[in-house]
């Protein structure tokens, strides 16, 4: 069974593979603590929609962090 991760800021439980992948892609490839999409957008100073758009771009490029 896969380990459940929670947000290091708001403690939201059961982060998605996109939230984990985005933290690894944009913050630290070897991250052990992760952000939910809302906290990551706030941390990066962008909107959730901008972040979701960027995640889709990474997926289309074939980034393996989102698989």
C-alpha span between 13 and 63 (Å, rounded):
24
Q: Which residues of 24-50 are buried (b: 16+ CB within 10 A; e: fewer)?
A: bbbeeeeeeebbbbebbbbeeeeeeee
- pLDDT (tens digit, 9 = 90+) per residue, 2-42? 578 999 999 999 999 999 999 999 999 999 999 999 999 99
Exposed, middle or buried: residue 13 (CB in 10 Å: 0-12, 13-18, 19+)? exposed
Model confidence, pTM:
0.90
Give me the residue spans of the domains in the chain.
17-66
């Amino acid at each position: 069974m896969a380990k459940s991760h929670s947000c290091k800021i708001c403690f939201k439980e059961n982060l998605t593979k996109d939230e984990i992948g985005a933290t690894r892609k944009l913050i630290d490839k070897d991250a052990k603590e992760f952000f939910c999409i809302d906290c990551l957008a706030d941390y990066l100073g962008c909107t959730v929609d901008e972040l979701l758009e960027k995640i889709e771009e990474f997926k289309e490029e074939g980034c393996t962090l989102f698989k």
